[in-house]
Amino acid sequence: MPGFGTALVTGASSGIGAATARLLAAGGTHVLLHGRDRERLDALAAETGGTTLPADLADPEQRSRLAERLAAEELDLLVHNAGLGWAGPLPELPAERLTRLTAVNLTAPLELTRALLPTMLARGRGRIVFVTSIAGRTGVAGEAVYAATKAGLDAFAESLRFELHGTGIGVGVVVPGVVRTEFFTRRGKPYTRSTPRPVSAGRVANAVVRAAEKPGDYYVPRWLRVPVALRGVVPGAYRALATRFGAES
Ligand SMILES: NC(=O)c1ccc[n+]([C@@H]2O[C@H](COP(=O)([O-])OP(=O)(O)OC[C@H]3O[C@@H](n4cnc5c(N)ncnc54)[C@H](OP(=O)(O)O)[C@@H]3O)[C@@H](O)[C@H]2O)c1
């Protein structure tokens, strides 16, 4: 794997982000490690030779400070990975959690991308990779807001692809299904289904690096493209099947 110069990974303190940062560093990339947990970030920086960039993406001031910092960096790769979930009936979703979900999963990637693009455009090169979710492509009962944030991220990425055509900047999207990380404990509801079977964070990290090398859409596992295609072609049949087999996680 060739190195990417300098890469920022948001949410590098845990799960998919930590695995991605390790993989990038092993390939010779200087990693800027974002997250909130300073202890974990410091440990990962010691291991990878990276630089820590702590910031709470739910806090508008901390988001703007990080955006300003990025505007001044010559980044070769930005991996938008930080995110959180919540599962349950919509009326039970606390208002504060709804604000946090949209701020971290959607507003932050939009703001950070806007901040760093001028430098990437001036250099005529760069890669931006978004970690979205199968939830954003198919919809999931009990995760309507989470799914909406990820669908929004998908639409943003797709639009940027058109907007950045011919500029030397590539946009990749990684669409994971279920990944063995702290995500489920943190969302407050463990994953108990047998399908899709959870995959490792390392497997998703591999897809992130591939998406940076060769921008495109990467499903993890790959078969997840089948329900998405089915929904696109025969939405009624897809919904009937999903309802029967349980469209929730
Ligand atoms: N796990 C899955 O099954 C799955 C499936 C599809 C998509 N995804 C997506 O994959 C991405 C990574 O999730 P993961 O599975 O690796 O979960 P994770 O282990 O819980 O990691 C989440 C990361 O996001 C960061 N984060 C959360 N809230 C933040 C905030 N307010 N400000 C800054 N950073 C914040 C966390 O930082 P701190 O720990 O330092 O707070 C952590 O580094 C997320 O976008 C998630 O939606 C996950």
Looking at the DSSP bridge assignments, the partners of residue 77 are 7, 127
CA distances from 5 to 11, 24, 50 (A): 19, 10, 12
For the chain, domains (ranges, CATH) are: 6-245 (3.40.50.720)
Closest to 133 (Cα-Cα) out of 72, 92, 181:
181
- CA 122 / ligand 1 centre spacing (Å): 31
Q: Is the dihedral of CA 190, 104, 239, 155 positive or negative?
A: negative
CA separation for the pair 132, 138 (Å, rounded): 12
- CA 14 / ligand 1 centre spacing (Å): 7
Confidence band for 65, pLDDT divided at 50, 70 and 90: very high
Strand ranges for 36-91 from DSSP E: 51-54, 77-80
Average confidence (pLDDT) over 220-233: 95
- CA 234 / ligand 1 centre spacing (Å): 32
Q: Is 188 in the pocket of ligand 1 (CB under 6 A)?
A: no
The residue contributing the CA closest to ligand 1 atom 1 is 179
To the query of whether residue 219 is one of the catalytic residues in this protein, the response is no
Angle between the 108-123 and 144-163 helix axes, to the nearest 10 degrees? 20
Using one digit for the tens of pLDDT, what is the confidence trace for 66-97? 999 999 999 999 999 999 999 999 999 999 99
